[in-house]
């Protein structure tokens, strides 16, 4: 049987991760245990190799599209090493021929073994083509180009495919965190970066200890790198807000090469937009969010001094408007205010250009009803190429520019009458139905007249927060300072913020309510730092303060949502 249908030296190309598509013949197809996958042997007419399918590529065999002696073209793959032999993992393939009826060619070579480390008698140095030893250090080579590496998308990574290479841009980089380990008291170091590939898929990468020392200066924001041989594990949502189920650990075996074709690397940002009308639900939320709007005004570069250490923080205020004629105040801090795109945005606005801004990874506060601001991992994109941006620009230039606007926080700030609070008018009994909504349901908002009837004095009452203006992140005491895991910064001091529970009642029912800093200050009449001083120095006066705050009525707006904890 002629071997013209097969790609010459395809097995060697698959093992070396060369770019291309390779036609091979499939032999001895068998279901692999009860996993829904298949094992088989691939041949190019001269060489054979073992192979496995994924759940996606298994459909070719499950549906009967290809049988023994059939020919497939492998489009995407990776390789794994099992007992010294390389196994090809077929990620994506297409059928060329269902079956030829017999094996092509006289196969001279057995299954190709994985390459072994070549060693000299004196120094046992590995050859340039071998895998690095276990104590190898990550090295950045500054001459890599796309043509010399076969890469795969971040979305295809999983912990069960250890042989892979990604090409990604560093979008953010944390500070180096230094701490003492609880187990042995030894000093340790860690920092992380966020990566995005050409498809817009993100992943967080973390480096520890000696690797962190070696890589901290190598990774630069906005540069593009090839990365391979890292460790993947499920993402810890306590420390990562990146939209990926996995996170990457860069270790001693990881290979890191800077890509010198950075200018040809387009990034299409992925986003999960929140409309300006729904920003109130994001106030003091744990998760970041994205917005898109037309820039109405750009303020001058300003600065504030942090009370804790006197450091100067740069800021720039931007007003955005959406297609519903709602406006919101966005504050960008530090790098985003002083470097690109802050100055570029100001220049475009001064020239009269209409600019659409996509802002990613923001946080919302209740200032002026609702305001949004950037954090350390935020990103800004001017005039993104997407359908939402095009529709927004068309609306703005077609008359939206001259339409009257309403602030996104209108009616959300503290007011005297219940009519100024947005939400469904209700009572405490109706707000607590017997059948709870699922945890995935959107929150509901209710307004009513309620009375504070009980505040427990033995509850936590407050937490330690970042002293930086506009940041409410939690800090923990560490090595004589205070460490913020959210923005990877260390502070010499902190500020307290309320996280208080109280019992509310009306003519129909009662319930326990969680409230936060601004609302608790309105109820208690003092800041969390002032209350903490009473609690520590005068316990009787502290309890009297809580009792005096009870039996007072307010017009309240409640956010009601079902949460699930341990089932």
CA dihedral 68, 71, 76, 80 (to 10 degrees): 40
Specify the higher pLDDT residue, 240 or 526: 526
Find the DSSP H helices in 16-72. Answer: 59-62
At 267 the pLDDT is 62
pLDDT band at 268 (very low <50, low <70, confident <90, very high): low
Determine the average pLDDT of the residues in 137-145: 45
Strands in 216-285 per DSSP E: 224-228, 231-234, 246-250, 255-259
Determine the average pLDDT of the residues in 261-284: 72
Q: Is the pLDDT of residue 137 over 80?
A: no
At 526 the pLDDT is 93
Which of 121-130, 136-145, 255-264, 417-426 ranks highest by mean pLDDT? 255-264
Nearest 5°: phi and psi at 342?
A: -55, -60
Coil, strand, or helix at residue 396? helix
- Least confident range from 153-157, 204-208, 494-498: namely 153-157
Determine the average pLDDT of the residues in 211-235: 89
Task: Determine how many CB atoms are found less than 10 A away from the CB of residue 250.
Answer: 24
Provide CB contacts within 8 A for 98, sequence distance 6+: 65, 66, 67, 70
Per-residue pLDDT tens digits for 13-37: 888 878 888 999 999 888 877 777 8
pLDDT band at 174 (very low <50, low <70, confident <90, very high): confident
Q: Is the pLDDT of residue 59 over 60?
A: yes
First to last CA, the chain: 61
What is the reported pTM? 0.46
Which of 76-85, 213-222, 233-242 ranks highest by mean pLDDT? 213-222
- Average pLDDT across the chain, whole number: 80
Per-residue pLDDT tens digits for 361-382: 888 877 767 889 988 778 888 8
At 248 the pLDDT is 92
At 149 the pLDDT is 66
pLDDT band at 423 (very low <50, low <70, confident <90, very high): low
Q: Is the pLDDT of residue 129 over 60?
A: no
Find the DSSP H helices in 3-151. Answer: 10-15, 59-62
At 511 the pLDDT is 92
At 186 the pLDDT is 81
Beta 187-196 vs 289-298: how paired, if at all? unpaired
pLDDT band at 418 (very low <50, low <70, confident <90, very high): very low
At 300 the pLDDT is 81
CA distances from 11 to 51, 324, 402, 463 (A): 11, 57, 64, 60
CA distances from 154 to 44, 84, 195, 246 (A): 29, 27, 9, 10
Specify the higher pLDDT residue, 309 or 471: 471
pLDDT band at 136 (very low <50, low <70, confident <90, very high): very low
340-370 burial code (b ≥16 CB/10 A, e <16) = ebbeebbebbeeeebbbbbbbbbbbbbbebb
Q: Is the pLDDT of residue 308 over 80?
A: no
Per-residue pLDDT tens digits for 334-365: 878 887 666 677 677 666 678 888 988 888 87
Provide CB contacts within 8 A for 563, sequence distance 6+: 439
pLDDT band at 530 (very low <50, low <70, confident <90, very high): very high
- Least confident range from 323-332, 421-430, 453-462: namely 421-430
Share of the chain above pLDDT 70, in %: 82
At 238 the pLDDT is 67
Determine the average pLDDT of the residues in 94-99: 86
At 3 the pLDDT is 65
**CA 304, CA 312: separation in Å to the nearest integer?**
6
Q: Is the pLDDT of residue 306 over 50?
A: yes
At 106 the pLDDT is 52
**CA 317, CA 301: separation in Å to the nearest integer?**
8
Determine the average pLDDT of the residues in 44-73: 86
**CA 311, CA 358: separation in Å to the nearest integer?**
29
Share of the chain above pLDDT 90, in %: 20
At 30 the pLDDT is 87
Beta 165-173 vs 187-196: how paired, if at all? antiparallel
């Amino acid at each position: 049987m002629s071997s013209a249908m097969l790609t010459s030296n395809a097995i060697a190309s698959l093992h070396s991760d060369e770019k291309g598509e390779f036609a091979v013949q499939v032999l001895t197809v068998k279901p692999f245990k009860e996993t829904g996958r298949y094992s088989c042997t691939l041949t190019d007419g001269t060489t054979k190799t073992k192979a496995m399918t994924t759940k996606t590529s298994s459909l070719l065999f499950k549906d009967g599209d290809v049988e023994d002696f059939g020919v497939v073209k492998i489009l995407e793959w990776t390789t794994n090493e099992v007992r010294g032999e390389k196994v090809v993992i077929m990620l994506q393939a297409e059928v060329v021929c269902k079956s030829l009826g017999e094996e092509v060619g006289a196969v001279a070579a057995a299954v190709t073994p994985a390459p072994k480390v070549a060693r000299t008698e004196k120094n046992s140095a590995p050859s340039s083509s071998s895998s690095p030893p276990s104590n190898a250090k990550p090295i950045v080579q500054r001459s890599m180009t796309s043509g010399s590496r076969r890469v795969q998308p971040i979305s295809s990574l999983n912990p069960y495919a250890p042989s892979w290479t990604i090409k990604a841009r560093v979008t953010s980089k944390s500070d180096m965190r230094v701490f003492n380990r609880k187990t042995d008291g030894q000093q340790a170091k860690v920092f992380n970066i966020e990566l995005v590939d050409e498809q817009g898929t993100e992943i967080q990468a973390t480096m520890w200890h000696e690797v962190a020392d070696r890589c901290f200066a190598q990774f630069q924001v906005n540069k593009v790198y090839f990365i391979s041989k890292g460790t993947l594990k499920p993402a810890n949502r306590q420390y990562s807000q990146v939209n990926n189920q996995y996170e990457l650990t860069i270790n001693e075996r990881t290979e890191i090469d800077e890509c010198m074709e950075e200018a040809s690397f387009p990034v299409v940002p992925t986003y999960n937009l929140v409309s300006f009308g729904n920003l109130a639900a994001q106030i003091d939320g744990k998760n970041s969010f994205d917005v898109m709007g037309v820039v109405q005004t750009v303020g001058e570069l300003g600065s504030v001094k942090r009370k804790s250490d006197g450091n100067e923080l740069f800021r720039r205020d931007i007003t955005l408007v959406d297609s519903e004629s709602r406006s919101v105040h966005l504050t960008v801090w530090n790098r985003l205010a002083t470097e690109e795109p802050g100055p570029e945005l100001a220049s475009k606005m001064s020239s009269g250009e209409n600019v659409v801004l996509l802002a990613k990874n923001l946080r919302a506060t209740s200032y002026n009803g609702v305001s949004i601001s950037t954090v350390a991992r935020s990103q800004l994109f001017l005039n993104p190429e997407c359908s939402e941006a095009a529709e927004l620009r068309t609306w703005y230039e077609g008359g939206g520019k001259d339409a009257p606007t309403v602030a996104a926080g209108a009616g959300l700030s503290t007011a005297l009458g219940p009519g100024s609070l947005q939400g469904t008018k209700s009572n405490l009994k109706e707000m607590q139905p017997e059948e709870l909504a699922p945890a995935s349901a959107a929150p509901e908002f209710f307004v009513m007249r309620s009375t504070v009837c009980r505040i427990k004095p033995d509850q936590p009452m407050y937490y330690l927060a970042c002293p930086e203006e506009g940041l409410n992140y939690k800090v923990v005491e560490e090595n004589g300072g205070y460490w913020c895991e959210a923005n990877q910064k260390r502070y010499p001091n902190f500020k307290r913020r309320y996280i208080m529970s109280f019992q509310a009642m009306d003519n129909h029912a009662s319930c326990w309510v969680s409230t936060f800093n601004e609302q608790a200050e309105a109820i208690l009449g003092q800041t969390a730092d002032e209350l903490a001083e009473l609690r520590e120095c005068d316990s009787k006066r502290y309890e009297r303060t809580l009792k005096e705050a009870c039996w007072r009525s307010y017009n309240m707006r409640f956010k009601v949502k079902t949460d699930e904890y341990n089932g």
